[in-house]
Structure 1
Amino acid sequence: MTLRKTQTPPMGWNSWDSYGTTVTEDEVLANAVFMAEHLLPHGWDTIVIDADWADPQPRSHGYNDEAALTIDAHGRLQPDPVRFPSSAGGAGFGPLAARLHGLGLKLGVHVMRGIPRVAVAADTPVLGTDSTASQITDTTNVCEWNPHYVGLDHTHPAAQAYYDSCVAQFAEWGLDFVKADDMLWPYQVPDIEAYALAVERADRDLALSLSPGRDLSAAHLDHLRANATMWRVCDDVWDRWDDIEPNFARLARWAPSAGPDGWPDADMLPLGRIGIRAERGEPREGALTLAERRTVVTLWVMARSPLMIGGDLPTSAAETIDLFTNDEVLRVLTQSHGNRELLRERGLVVWSAAGAADERWVAVFNLDDEARVEPFDTRSLGLGAAPAGVVDVWAGESVAVEAVHEQSDAARSVAPGSSVVRVELQPHGCVLLRA
């Protein structure tokens, strides 16, 4: 089969921001049912189980130092059968995947680069080879934050066979998506290529996501496109403005590269009820204001980043869920092109994107801590000299376009004879316009 490429950015839910390493089958199913009932009609279709689903004794706020991860006779991770009862008897994630497919959804899982330490300690045989786990390790290349794995020595042919066997099992279970972590910082060329090859060899099409993206250089673009469906361009993003604001610059660099060849990923949307048993913080609806939440969604769709919701869907506030069901906003994600940053000055950032025929979208963002009203010459926004039918997409309301006949203090940046739109911006807020 093949590494799955997608015509539009993947959209789904990931368990990390809510449950960290502790998510259970019941919680996954609750989010899946909610997605199928409320979000699937708007394009959301993927459920991803994040880290340590094989740990029988996970904890909030981090990883266990010496977790007794559940593995099979060949050193491959297996779901903990207490947390995931349907996996008992060697069924793995097969029954859960079938359940989600019946809802019209896809199932994905998180994996780490390398091989579990428990497999090395048991010296499990590598499926299809005469080698064992201890013979294929590289103990000098280990993850800096997850203590459960050691690196693979890719000069040994059985290292590829190990990845092949893991991905073959995912395909047998009916999975659709793999999030492979500890791949990009530092940039792990042998592991990326080996994992992508394992996906190519599997008997089922799988989308492959690579993480994390701290300091990721665009010099890797061609390599990423050849070996992944999507790739992170930042470290973990949480519900703090200080985490959101740096992504404006990152996405300005990466958005022109987004397309069916591969999707630069701005990380999960830290929106909704998060921190239930997560790595950081206590249960909360998220510390971002509603204006900031709208800014997150708008920036991500204008940059055509994959969208993975972090909040627990059934218990998230209705005003947050509403952010995920505005089809006119989501149309930017799925139907726009030429997405780019137009302007960045005085605390203002402006993005533009084109649609079919003469349709255009413009997003104006306020990075400042104070509200402001800004007049814009419509030509500076790429909307033309006298655009008709300008709409505030979030509000679903028409926006007045004023002719400027003479210079005034209120429109000092707009030349007479032009047209102007006046944009009201909340602190860290935005307006998304369509013309």
Structure 2
Amino acid sequence: MNNNKISKRALKPPMGWNSWDCFGTNVTEQEVKDNAEFIAKNLKQYGWEYVVVDLGWYGPEIDNHNYKTENIPQLIDEYGRLIPDPIRFPSSVNGAGFKPLADYIHSLGLKLGIHIMRGIPVQAVQQKTKVKGTNVTADQIAYNRERCPWFNSLRTLDFSKPEAQNYYDSIFELYAQWGVDYIKADDVNAWSEVHRSSGSPTGEGSPYRIDDIEGMAKAINNSGREIVFSISPGGPETTIINHLRNHANLWRISADFWDEWGSLKAQMDRCEIWAPFVTEGHWPDADMLPLGDLPRGESGGINRVSNFTNDEQITVMTLWSMFRSPLMFGGNLPKTSEFTIGLISNEEVLEVNQHSWNNRLLRGDSNEKIWVAENEKGIYVALFNVSDDEREITFNFSEVQLSGIQSLRDVWKKEDLFNISDSFSAKVAPHGAKMYLIKR
């Protein structure tokens, strides 16, 4: 694998919108366009640019209640490649695929992403479709083992057969023709636990799929299009960092992150572990932002808004920014509150996410945590109150090798404070966070 090709993509943490949290498995083309138009009008100027269609775009009968069932109907072309459902994506008719939607997204100055699963559709195996560019059929390069435990409608590719790579080459050739800019590949990245509000681990494990990851990365390079490569569901070991960096631009560090305080506390610990491995072009991913309007997502019921309080939302955005996680907004933007839109359009906070270095947890315990980061403007300090009560948190300039009078700015409020000598203290709300810039 030519690491240079991978490294030249996603030089900053990608920022965008994903359909999963708000619309689950049955987002429509119009809903995608509505969110894209909102980004173009209100958020593009702050760096938000990707519009990602998540799981199920190829299944006319897929919904949030049945997608885990076996062998659900999926639409494929003559080469066994998944194609969009024309009922939900009417512009895809007559073999157009996602090209008309991509053209529209591009006309807004944005980029299109799609979610895919590892493997080959069961329909291709059953129908023995030809693998493009070969003399073999789908049933000859697949086996009926190691299925995804939660989307059981694809079969595992047998990479002892060279034509398995041909199949991945063929689907990424199609995505490149459509004009896809971003791929979220699922069921390839190991995970071992799902943290619920109690913090207790549950869930079924899934291995790190080396052959699939390498095969997809190679296929992206063969496609001739600069496609950002994201892998899920998350939870790899830091000991495979070189493999991750050689083959992916971003990788999830956990299973699905939802709007529960226990999940957010667990994510703080994971961000601490992964912070030393953040580097340009290769981003540990703390997952989507389950904020705003969530009308019919997979978790937590329908017609709801995020369970996170305003203070917890500030904590999410502060942590994701200080950690430099990719930012993929999960809510339905046109119906999201002004407060939340204000959080994701604070250019001073987003600057830390997009342009900073030496990001790390400085110190912390079960009640409070302090993160720091740097850029040309100075040193950023984030105070996190992990407890259930208001706390006064003190930061000493000596902790970052500074002394004497310093110029301090409240980044969230965009307010300069009086010059401060040696240390400062701030009252932080329960589950809340504050961010300051010590100016150079």
Range of TM-score over shorter length: over 0.9
Taking the TM superposition and a 5 Å limit, the aligned residue runs for 1:1-12 are: 2-3=5-6, 5-12=9-16
Question: How has the CA–CA distance of structure 1 residues 342 and 232 changed in structure 2, closer, same or farther, with 3 Å as cutoff?
Answer: same
Aligned mates of 2:208, 2:57 — CA distance in 1: 25
Instruction: Describe the SS at the equivalent of 1:362.
Output: strand
Q: Determine the structure 2 residue equivalent to 1:319.
A: 339
Q: Determine the structure 1 residue equivalent to 2:52.
A: 48
Shift of 1:386: 2.5
Question: How has the CA–CA distance of structure 1 residues 11 and 91 changed in structure 2, closer, same or farther, with 3 Å as cutoff?
Answer: same
Shift of 1:61: 4.2
Q: Could you tell me which of 23, 30, 37 is aligned with 1:33?
A: 37
> 1:224-262: per-residue Cα shift (whole Å, max 9, x none)?
111011110111000111111111111111122112240
Q: Could you tell me which of 177, 180, 205 is aligned with 1:175?
A: 180
Asked if the contact 2:289/2:328 (under 8 Å) is kept, the reply is yes
Please state if 1:421 is matched with 2:424. yes
Please state if 1:434 is matched with 2:437. yes
Please state if 1:284 is matched with 2:309. no
Please state if 1:364 is matched with 2:368. no
Shift of 1:119: 1.2
Q: Could you tell me which of 108, 112, 115 is aligned with 2:113?
A: 108
Aligned mates of 2:289, 2:21 — CA distance in 1: 9
1:51 counterpart letter in structure 2: L
Shift of 1:402: 5.3
Aligned mates of 1:341, 1:281 — CA distance in 2: 35
Q: Determine the structure 2 residue equivalent to 1:152.
A: 157
Please state if 1:204 is matched with 2:207. no
Taking the TM superposition and a 5 Å limit, the aligned residue runs for 1:265-280 are: 265-280=285-300
Question: How has the CA–CA distance of structure 1 residues 77 and 279 changed in structure 2, closer, same or farther, with 3 Å as cutoff?
Answer: farther
Aligned mates of 1:279, 1:74 — CA distance in 2: 34
Shift of 1:339: 0.4
Aligned mates of 1:237, 1:35 — CA distance in 2: 23
Asked if the contact 1:20/1:62 (under 8 Å) is kept, the reply is no
1:17 counterpart letter in structure 2: D
Q: Which moved more, 1:85-94 or 1:271-280?
A: 271-280
Q: Determine the structure 1 residue equivalent to 2:210.
A: 189
Please state if 1:396 is matched with 2:414. yes
The structure with more radius of gyration? 1
Gaps of 5+ in 1: 404-418
The TM-score with structure 2 as length reference comes to 0.92
Shift of 1:277: 4.3
Shift of 1:276: 2.1
> 1:172-224: per-residue Cα shift (whole Å, max 9, x none)?
0011000000011210111110110000100211000000113x100111001
Shift of 1:60: 2.9
Shift of 1:122: 1.1
1:176 counterpart letter in structure 2: D
Asked if the contact 1:167/1:202 (under 8 Å) is kept, the reply is yes
Gaps of 5+ in 2: 191-206
> 1:152-185: per-residue Cα shift (whole Å, max 9, x none)?
0000111100000000000000110000000112
Q: Could you tell me which of 368, 379, 403 is aligned with 1:348?
A: 368
Asked if the contact 2:368/2:386 (under 8 Å) is kept, the reply is yes
Q: Determine the structure 2 residue equivalent to 1:386.
A: 404
1:434 counterpart letter in structure 2: L
> 1:94-121: per-residue Cα shift (whole Å, max 9, x none)?
0000001000000000000101111111
Aligned mates of 2:401, 2:97 — CA distance in 1: 53
Shift of 1:58: 2.3
1:238 counterpart letter in structure 2: W
Q: Determine the structure 1 residue equivalent to 2:103.
A: 98
Asked if the contact 1:108/1:176 (under 8 Å) is kept, the reply is yes
Aligned mates of 1:99, 1:402 — CA distance in 2: 50
Aligned mates of 1:87, 1:279 — CA distance in 2: 28
Aligned mates of 1:261, 1:36 — CA distance in 2: 24
